[in-house]
Amino acid sequence: MSSHDEAPPLPEPLRVPVADSHTHLDMQSGTVAEALLTAESVGVTTLVQVGCDVRGSQWAAETAAAYQNVHAAVALHPNEAPRIVHGDPDGWSRQGAREPGGQAGLDAALAEIDRLAALPQVKGVGETGLDYFRTGPEGKEAQETSFRAHIEIAKRHGKALVIHDREAHADVLRILKEEGAPERTVFHCYSGDAEMAEICARAGYFMSFAGNVTFKNAQNLRDAVAVAPPELLLVETDAPFLTPAPYRGRPNAPYLIPITVRAMAAVRGIDEDAMATAVAANTARAFGY
């Protein structure tokens, strides 16, 4: 094993416990119990497990039912909706059975997300939104249909909406406005700049920052952290992706949250306890737990 594949060491524990507002335990190595224990040992005591397809959303709901400190968010990822409509065999038929494609396939998948969204341990609908980086123009329509449907599901069940926005800021903000955003809306892995943070602030959208806020080339994210109202800041890993510096490229996991909390505190010039206290309260408010 090269050092590049090795799990980064445990950071210094936080004194004030926080939540990882967005993680994918089903894509990380080790068991859920192990991940929770390791995270807890450094003060990361609550997780939001996010589903990206039907099977992953079912798993998120099952896991949140089994562990008190895990909450679930359920959705078809913006890159998943076009895969279903266009019948890509790598789509949501991961249990072996071939699922129907086309609009009927998307409707069936959305009906299952709707069913899961009603469960008490499911606190969010997402990640949904738009991704113009991974999905080309041919997938845009399916992506938008799916996004609008998720907004409706979140509102009807009174759950938080978790937004994935990749290179699609203007269209995401426009569609939220057109549909009417749910009372609690979270931009996961916030990727805009300070100007967009001001727009989000006026709308009352939460902004969740991931490990990339520590990257050298991510001054736009640090500028956004600096101008966002403290009551709208969340922190997340999006693990196994976006491992914070200096461990970029190595596997990410919820126990690395303290690194990102410290980076955010440094940007705002406050101590880490104050930052942790704020994000802990904000995450509980955003997801209603």
DSSP state of 215: S
Closest approach of Zn ion to the CB of residue 18, in Å: 18
Segment near Zn ion (CB under 5 A), from 36-44, 106-114, 120-128, 258-266?
Answer: 120-128
Closest approach of Zn ion to the CB of residue 252, in Å: 11
Closest approach of Zn ion to the CB of residue 143, in Å: 13
Closest approach of Zn ion to the CB of residue 169, in Å: 14
Nearer of residues 20 and 272 to Zn ion, judged by Cβ: 20
Nearer of residues 73 and 265 to Zn ion, judged by Cβ: 73
Nearer of residues 164 and 262 to Zn ion, judged by Cβ: 164
Residues 6+ apart with CB under 8 A from 204: 185, 232
Q: How many residues bind Zn ion (CB under 5 A)?
A: 3
β-bridge mates for residue 188, sequence order: 164
Dig out the tokens for 66 from the structure.
């089994």
Report if residue 164 touches Zn ion, rule: CB under 5 A.
Answer: yes
Distances (CA, A) of 73 to 13, 48, 60, 84, 122: 26, 7, 7, 20, 6
How far is it, in rounded angstroms, from Cα 55 to Cα 52?
A: 8
> Is 202 exposed, middle or buried, given 0-12, 13-18 or 19+ CB atoms closer than 10 A?
exposed
Closest approach of Zn ion to the CB of residue 136, in Å: 18
Closest approach of Zn ion to the CB of residue 73, in Å: 9
Name the strands in the sheet holding 160-166, side by side, starting at the edge strand that comes first in the sequence. 18-23, 44-50, 70-74, 122-131, 160-166, 185-188, 206-209, 233-235
Nearer of residues 96 and 249 to Zn ion, judged by Cβ: 249
Per-residue mark of binding to Zn ion, 47-66 (x: CB under 5 A): --------------------
Nearer of residues 93 and 208 to Zn ion, judged by Cβ: 208
Largest CA distance in the chain: 53
Closest-by-Cβ residue to Zn ion is 164
Segment near Zn ion (CB under 5 A), from 35-43, 119-127, 178-186, 278-286?
Answer: 119-127
Segment near Zn ion (CB under 5 A), from 5-13, 67-75, 80-88, 232-240?
Answer: 232-240
Question: Closest by alpha carbon to 117, among 75, 77, 69, 147?
Answer: 75
How far is it, in rounded angstroms, from Cα 263 to Cα 258?
A: 9
Dig out the tokens for 69 from the structure.
């400190």
Please answer whether residues 116 and 58 qualify as being in contact, where contact means their C-beta atoms are separated by less than 8 angstroms: yes
- Find the binding residues for Zn ion in span 241-260 (CB under 5 A): none
Closest approach of Zn ion to the CB of residue 241, in Å: 7
Segment near Zn ion (CB under 5 A), from 126-134, 168-176, 225-233, 252-260?
Answer: 126-134
Which parts of this chain interact with Zn ion (CB under 5 A)?
127, 164, 238
